[in-house]
Structure 1
Amino acid sequence: MRRKAALHIARTPVIFAVLCAGLSVGLPTAVRAAEAAGEDPIIVTARGRPEAQIAVPDTVTVFTQDDIARRRLTTVDDFIAQTPGVFMINDQDPGTNMITVRGVSTNRNQSPSIAYVVDGLALADSELFTLHTYDVARVEILKGPQGALFGRSASGGAVDIATNDPTDEAGGMASIGIGNGFTWTADGVVNAPVSERVQLRLAGSYRNSDGFIRNSYLDKKVDGFISRNLRLKARIETSETSTLKLRLAWANEEGGAAYISSENVTGRNGGRLSGTILTDPQGDFEGRFAREWWGAQATFEQELGDALMLSWSGGYDNYHKDFSEELDFRHDTPVTLDGLALFPDGIQPISQPVDIEAWTSEMRLTSRGAGPLRWHAGFFFQRLERDRTDEFGPLLFGAEAQRAETRSNQIGLFAQVSYDVLPTIEATLGLRYDRDRRKEDTVGADSATIYARRAQTFDKWQPKISLAWHPSQDFTGYVTGSVGFKSGGFNPLPGASDVWSANFAAETVKSLEAGVKGRLVDGRVRLAMAGFVTDYSNFQNTVFLGNSVVLSVPEVNVHGLEASAQADLGLGFSLDGGAAWTHSRVGRYTTPNPTPEPGEPDVLDLTGNRTPNAPDWTLNGGIGWQGDAGPALIDARLSVAYVSRVDFEIDNILHTPGYASVDGRIGVDLGAWSLEVWAKNLFDKRWAISAFGQQQLPLLLGLGPDGPYDSFTINTGRQFGLGATRRF
Structure 2
Amino acid sequence: MVSAVRTRARLALSVSATALLMAGAPALAQTTPPAAPAPQAGQSPQAAPAVVDDIIVTAQKREQSVQDVPIAVSALSAEALESRQIEGGSELLRAVPNVSFSKSNFSMYNFSIRGIGTKAVSASSDPAVAVSFNNTPLIRNRLFEQEYLDVARVEVLRGPQGTLYGRNATGGVVNMFPELPKFRSEGFAAGELGNYDSRRGQAMLNVPFGDTFAVRGAFGFTQRDGFDYNSFNDTHVNDRDLFTTRLSARWEPTARFRANAIWEHFEEDDHRSRTGKQLCTTDPGPTQVGSATITTPYNQDQLSQGCLPGSLYSDAAYGAPNGGSFGPIRLLSGFFSLGGFDANGASVYPIPQGFDPYEGVVQSRDLREIATNYDPVFRAENDVVQVNLEFDLTDTLTLFSQTAYAKDDYYASQDYARYVSNPAFSDSSQVFDFFGDLIPSPAAPGGVYTDPQLGPSNRILSADISQSDNRQWYQEFRLQSDMAGDFNFSLGANYLDFKSQDDYYVFNNTFSYLAEYFYNFELGPDGSSQTVPCDDDRVFECVYVDPNPLSEINGEGHNYFRSKNVVHTRSWAVFGEGYWDLTPELRLTTGLRYTEDRKDTTPYPSQLLLGAPLGGGSGPGSGGFVRRGYYALPDIEQKWEAVTGRIVLDWTPDLSFTDDTLVYASFSRGYKGGGTNPPRLELDPKVVQYQPLASTFDPEYVNAFEIGAKNTLMDGALRLNATGFYYDYKDYQVSQIVDRISLNENFDAEIWGLELEAVYRPTPSFQIDGNLGYLKSRIADGERSINVMDRTQGDPDWITIRPWIQVPSNCIAPRAYAETILNSAFGPDAANLALSALCAGSSRFGTFNPNFNSILPFWALYGFTYDPLTEAPNGGRGFEADLGGNELPNSPNWTANIGAQYSWFLGDWDLTLRGDYYRQGESFFRVYNTEYDRLEGWDNLNLSVSLTNEARGLKLQAYVKNVFDDAPIVDAFTNSDDTGLTTNVFTLDPRLFAVRLTKSF
Matched AA of 1:551: N
1:427 to 580, 588, 597: 588
The alpha-carbon distance between structure 1 residues 499 and 669, as it changes in their structure 2 partners (threshold 3 A), is farther
Matched pairs, number:
701
The alpha-carbon distance between structure 1 residues 262 and 499, as it changes in their structure 2 partners (threshold 3 A), is farther
Structure 1 position 609 matched with structure 2 position 890: no
What's the TM-score, normalizing by structure 1?
Answer: 0.90
How far apart in 1 are the matches of 2:137 and 2:588?
27
SS in 2 for 1:79: helix
Cα distance, 1:171 vs. partner?
A: 2.0
The Cα offsets for residues 185-236 of structure 1, whole Å up to 9 and x where unpaired, read as 0000000012221100000110111121222322222100111110000001
How far apart in 2 are the matches of 1:291 and 1:308?
42
Cα distance, 1:345 vs. partner?
A: 4.7
Where do residues 12-91 of structure 1 align in structure 2 (5 Å cutoff)?
17-18=23-24, 23-24=30-31, 26-29=33-36, 41-91=54-104
Partner in structure 1 of residue 469 of structure 2: 355
Where do residues 558-597 of structure 1 align in structure 2 (5 Å cutoff)?
558-570=751-763, 572-588=765-781, 589-595=783-789, 596=791
Partner in structure 2 of residue 321 of structure 1: 410
- Contact kept? 1:324, 1:352, Cα under 8 Å: yes
Bigger drift between 20-29 and 643-652 goes to: 20-29
Partner in structure 1 of residue 977 of structure 2: 698
How far apart in 2 are the matches of 1:40 and 1:127?
31
The alpha-carbon distance between structure 1 residues 277 and 608, as it changes in their structure 2 partners (threshold 3 A), is farther
Structure 1 position 715 matched with structure 2 position 988: yes
The Cα offsets for residues 222-280 of structure 1, whole Å up to 9 and x where unpaired, read as 10011111000000113221011011111110222235323325879942437885543
Partner in structure 2 of residue 292 of structure 1: 381
The alpha-carbon distance between structure 1 residues 568 and 383, as it changes in their structure 2 partners (threshold 3 A), is same
The alpha-carbon distance between structure 1 residues 687 and 593, as it changes in their structure 2 partners (threshold 3 A), is closer
Cα distance, 1:647 vs. partner?
A: 1.5
Where do residues 291-310 of structure 1 align in structure 2 (5 Å cutoff)?
291-310=380-399
Matched AA of 1:613: N
Partner in structure 2 of residue 374 of structure 1: 488
SS in 2 for 1:565: strand
Structure 1 position 273 matched with structure 2 position 362: no
How far apart in 1 are the matches of 2:465 and 2:39?
53
Matched AA of 2:898: G
Partner in structure 2 of residue 98 of structure 1: 110
- Contact kept? 2:900, 2:915, Cα under 8 Å: yes
SS in 2 for 1:391: strand
- Contact kept? 1:105, 1:612, Cα under 8 Å: no
SS in 2 for 1:78: helix
Matched AA of 2:768: L
Cα distance, 1:685 vs. partner?
A: 1.1
Partner in structure 2 of residue 364 of structure 1: 478
The Cα offsets for residues 44-71 of structure 1, whole Å up to 9 and x where unpaired, read as 1111111121121111101022212211
Matched AA of 1:450: A
Partner in structure 2 of residue 458 of structure 1: 640
Structure 1 position 393 matched with structure 2 position 507: yes
Partner in structure 1 of residue 276 of structure 2: 260
Structure 1 position 549 matched with structure 2 position 742: yes
2:937 to 652, 658, 662: 658
Structure 1 position 214 matched with structure 2 position 229: yes
Partner in structure 2 of residue 6 of structure 1: none
The Cα offsets for residues 369-414 of structure 1, whole Å up to 9 and x where unpaired, read as 4542121000111100000122223369656434211000010111
Cα distance, 1:656 vs. partner?
A: 2.4
- Contact kept? 2:29, 2:73, Cα under 8 Å: no
Cα distance, 1:79 vs. partner?
A: 1.9
SS in 2 for 1:688: coil
Please give the root-mean-square deviation of Cα atoms over the aligned residues, in Å.
2.8
Partner in structure 1 of residue 678 of structure 2: 492
Partner in structure 2 of residue 9 of structure 1: none
- Contact kept? 1:177, 1:723, Cα under 8 Å: yes
SS in 1 for 2:998: strand
How far apart in 1 are the matches of 2:880 and 2:80?
50
- Contact kept? 1:22, 1:577, Cα under 8 Å: no
Partner in structure 2 of residue 520 of structure 1: 713
Q: Which has the higher contact order (CA 8 A, sep 6+)?
A: 1
What's the TM-score, normalizing by structure 2?
Answer: 0.67
How far apart in 2 are the matches of 1:128 and 1:66?
19
Partner in structure 2 of residue 4 of structure 1: none
SS in 2 for 1:105: coil
How far apart in 2 are the matches of 1:531 and 1:346?
53
The alpha-carbon distance between structure 1 residues 329 and 410, as it changes in their structure 2 partners (threshold 3 A), is same
Structure 1 position 675 matched with structure 2 position 956: yes
Matched AA of 2:584: P
The alpha-carbon distance between structure 1 residues 483 and 531, as it changes in their structure 2 partners (threshold 3 A), is same
The Cα offsets for residues 533-591 of structure 1, whole Å up to 9 and x where unpaired, read as 00211110022447562432331110111111110021501011111011112213111
The alpha-carbon distance between structure 1 residues 483 and 659, as it changes in their structure 2 partners (threshold 3 A), is same
Partner in structure 2 of residue 162 of structure 1: 177
- Contact kept? 1:251, 1:292, Cα under 8 Å: yes
Matched AA of 1:592: I
How far apart in 2 are the matches of 1:629 and 1:16?
35
Bigger drift between 147-156 and 546-555 goes to: 546-555
The Cα offsets for residues 69-109 of structure 1, whole Å up to 9 and x where unpaired, read as 2112210012233211111112357x520111101221334
- Contact kept? 1:16, 1:525, Cα under 8 Å: no
The alpha-carbon distance between structure 1 residues 376 and 274, as it changes in their structure 2 partners (threshold 3 A), is farther
How far apart in 1 are the matches of 2:402 and 2:970?
37
Structure 1 position 111 matched with structure 2 position 293: no
The alpha-carbon distance between structure 1 residues 128 and 412, as it changes in their structure 2 partners (threshold 3 A), is farther
Q: Kindly indicate which of the two structures has a greater share of residues assigned to strand.
A: 1
Structure 2, unmatched stretches of 5+, are: 1-19, 41-47, 283-306, 316-363, 426-446, 452-457, 516-542, 544-556, 607-627, 682-688, 793-797, 801-877
Structure 1 position 138 matched with structure 2 position 153: yes
Bigger drift between 713-722 and 352-361 goes to: 713-722
Structure 1, unmatched stretches of 5+, are: 1-13, 703-708
2:209 to 174, 194, 198: 194
Identity of aligned residues (%): 23
Partner in structure 2 of residue 619 of structure 1: 896
